[in-house]
Structure 1
């Protein structure tokens, strides 16, 4: 497909790089000459310098031949204006990123898709929603839902409470025969492994498993993850993500939010009802200790600075906070998070790119997810009567290496966590877990 991306910031460049990997033709428009040069240096894309809201410039980008326009600049108004122009020029798929809540409201006129974007995405709200889910699932380092929440992929860290350290995966069924789940991947020594039955699980591993939601608590219990007290939450950073997280938690948790900018604290006070708002430097350990840092159950850092977020999370760990959740912007940092001792990590950029890619591929893909910190992708694909993988036991199918069938969802909604004897039928949805370079091979099977 021919895809036009407006904005070469962190989201735009990450989106472009992922789409280029999938063999799409990418054109970008960016007003900042420095960002233009950077994009030109690292991407195999046509990068144009200029205002993305300029009609003549959009026309010069050959808008009539574009299949998808994704407006992801840092300017809401530019994204909205360019989306309207693209729809008027009959671009088939138009996506706009917005930050201001009013532009994503249901009664906003752009929700009329006849002249507004086909998808309005609000990265700050989506990121906050993911953080709230993590807080409510205290044992998880990563947490993803599929098929309306019926299926979950969960990341956990193996610690001393796991009674079977050293066990091979193909031996787990001897211990818990009636508990279907699949270990999809593990991280050991900063390396992602998509394991075979002969591989083992040991202390210090971070593992990712898939199961039905109804069995999640039992799987966590098997791995020694008891229910943890979770009442007191401290948030560092009072911009939109911090505000949305506090709003999602303050009705059931004791929430404190620390923000250095006095104007932001005044705005927080207008939008939060039960959260304690503190105007102070979040890197000041004396302040954190005065606010009972060691008594926190969750410590969440969502400032605009990766470095501040990492430092504050490390301070919290050092002072005995059981778990930290850290917002990371720089994509290169994500691969280092396990080695520097961060618990759970969220990325606004990765979540936004995953949502956009899923929407672009919506004719073929029911859902698209990139697992943070893992060199792995999850696709939910639907089979047809022409699919190459139907009506045969999985053990007899030739799936690419570094790929796993995680779950099969039947047309009636029934979920199957498969074994080698399981069969896929036409019109089933299949949750596939695989290394990113295998995507084209996987899609051809469906």
Structure 2
């Protein structure tokens, strides 16, 4: 595929990095020559310096033959204009990053496809959606459902009182006679491990499993965790992420939102009728305690300052809040999150890049997700008749070592997959793999 990315900032660079593993024909456009040179020195991409709204620049990028044009600069106007011009010049599909909430909330009033924009994305809205997903179960560090919960990806921390601590994968299999979950990844000191028989869990690991519905309870029991409901949530920061998160979460939970800007508080109060808006400095520990932080089940810090978000989450943890999520600008912080006491750190630009990445998938991928801090992707495929994955049992397939098949949904029922399992057409396969292995994995499903 020929893919043009307008904007070499965090979203564009991370997207180009993901696509570089795909051996796609990638052109990166940006006005900043230094940013482009940095990208070119570390990624196998073509670069063009200039404005993506220029006909000449887009023609130089051969937009006429582009399969996908992605506009993710920091300027909404530039992104919309780039997508419209690019479509007019022949790009098959266009994606534009936007900030204006009206485009998302009133989609029916303006059909952007008529203007040449096939898809719009808002990193802030996607981050809010991700926050809601992360709050599904307090005891889990991460969770994602496949085929409406017939299989789930779940993450837990391994502590010293866990029955899994110091156990090898072979020993864990004996603790799981029903074979209703399978370990697919271990995050240890910022290193991602795709586990095999002799790998062991150690204290401090963040372990990830593919589980059948009853397997989620098995994982919680063996890891020494208990299910806990979320009722009360405190959000720090009335940013766009904070607004979107409060709007989504207030439909189900009791939400308090703390914002330091008085004028913004009045705006938020008008827009969020079911949310208690509090004007104050979220860095003030006494204020947090006065507003009942110890009664909160979850604390979401989404101010514009990463350090404030991290520190306030640590304060929340010190006040026995069960679940904390911090928004950070520096992608490198994400790997530190669980090691310093914050349950999850998220980066809205990284989430946006991963969302766009789904447009490039092959082999009938029907969903894709990333695990925060883990250097791997979770893919869900529909198995085709005659594909390589159907030829033999899993153990005989020579599947890439940097990938693992976690489970399958067959005839509406989810199963974990062991070595003797053989796929059939129309199965829905769930695979975890490192980015550099995605291309090799897709060949099994073509």
Fold equivalence (TM over 0.5): yes
The alignment status of 1:430 with 2:429, answered yes or no, reads: yes
Conserved in 1, the CA contact under 8 Å of 2:151 and 2:415?
no
Q: Distance in 2 between matches of 1:95 and 1:217?
A: 40
Q: 1:168-222 CA deviation, whole Å, 9 max, x = no partner?
A: 3223343442251101111233322211123333432210001134543343233
Deviations 1:102-140 (A, max 9, x none): 2133314334x3543222222222211121122231112
2 CA distance for matches of 1:391 and 1:36?
44
Partner of 1:262: 262
Cα deviation per residue 1:25-44 (whole Å; 9 max; x = unaligned)? 32222345664565455544
1:9 aligns with 2:9: yes
Tell me the alpha carbon deviations over residues 270-302 of structure 1, each in whole angstroms, 9 at most, x when there is no partner: 111122212222222232232223332211111
Q: Aligned equivalents of 1:110 and 1:76: distance in 2? A: 17
Does the residue aligned with 2:152 lie in a helix, a strand or coil? strand
Check if 1:444 corresponds to 2:443.
Answer: yes
What is the deviation of 1:235?
0.8
CA distance in 2: counterparts of 1:384 and 1:289, whole angstroms? 56
What is the deviation of 1:423?
0.8
Change (3 A) 1:25 1:261: farther
Q: Which moved more, 1:368-377 or 1:43-52?
A: 43-52
Task: Specify every segment of 5 or more residues in structure 1 that has no aligned partner in the other structure, as ranges.
Answer: none
> Following the alignment from structure 1 to structure 2, what is the Cα–Cα distance between the partners of residues 34 and 256?
43
1:31–1:391 CA distance, 2 compared to 1 (3 A):
closer
Instruction: State the alpha-carbon separation in 1 of the partners of residues 175 and 293 from structure 2.
Output: 40
In the TM superposition, what are the counterparts of 1:376-415 in structure 2 within 5 Å?
Answer: 376-410=376-410, 412-415=411-414
Q: After TM superposition, give the deviation of residue 165 of structure 1 in Å.
A: 3.0
Task: Tell me the residue number matched to 1:82.
Answer: 82
Structure ranking higher on relative contact order (CA contacts 8 Å, 6+ apart): 2
The answer to whether structure 1 residue 96 and structure 2 residue 96 are counterparts is yes
Task: Work out the CA distance in 2 between the residues paired with 1:349 and 1:324.
Answer: 20
**Closer, same or farther: CA 292–432 of 1 in aligned 2, 3 Å:** same
Q: CA offset at residue 79 of structure 1?
A: 1.8
SS in structure 1 of the partner of residue 125 of structure 2: helix
User: Normalising to structure 1: TM-score of the pair?
Assistant: 0.91
TM norm structure 2: 0.91
Task: Number of aligned residue pairs: give it.
Answer: 444
Q: Distance in 2 between matches of 1:265 and 1:124?
A: 19
**Which residue does 2:199 correspond to in 1?**
199
Asked whether the equivalents of residues 169 and 198 of structure 1 are also in contact (C-alpha less than 8 Å), the reply is: yes
Q: 1:183 to 1:289 in 2, by over 3 A?
A: same
Specify the SS of the correspondent of 1:91: coil
Distance of 1:45 and 1:387 partners within structure 2 = 31
For the 8 Å contact 2:21–2:439, the answer to whether it is kept is no
1:124 aligned onto 2:124: yes
Q: 1:88 to 1:416 in 2, by over 3 A?
A: same
Q: Which residue does 2:110 correspond to in 1?
A: 109
> SS where residue 87 of structure 2 aligns?
helix
Structure 2 counterpart SS, 1:311: helix
**CA–CA distance in 1 between the matches of 2:136 and 2:415?**
25
Question: How far, CA to CA, are the matches of 1:96 and 1:39 in structure 2?
Answer: 21
Q: Is the 8 A contact 1:88 1:115 kept in 2?
A: no
2:393 touches 2:422 (CA, 8 Å); kept in 1?
yes
Residue in 1 aligned with 2:187? Answer: 187
User: Alpha-carbon deviation of 1:343?
Assistant: 1.0
1:59 corresponds to: 59
CA distance in 2, matches of 1:345, 1:90: 39
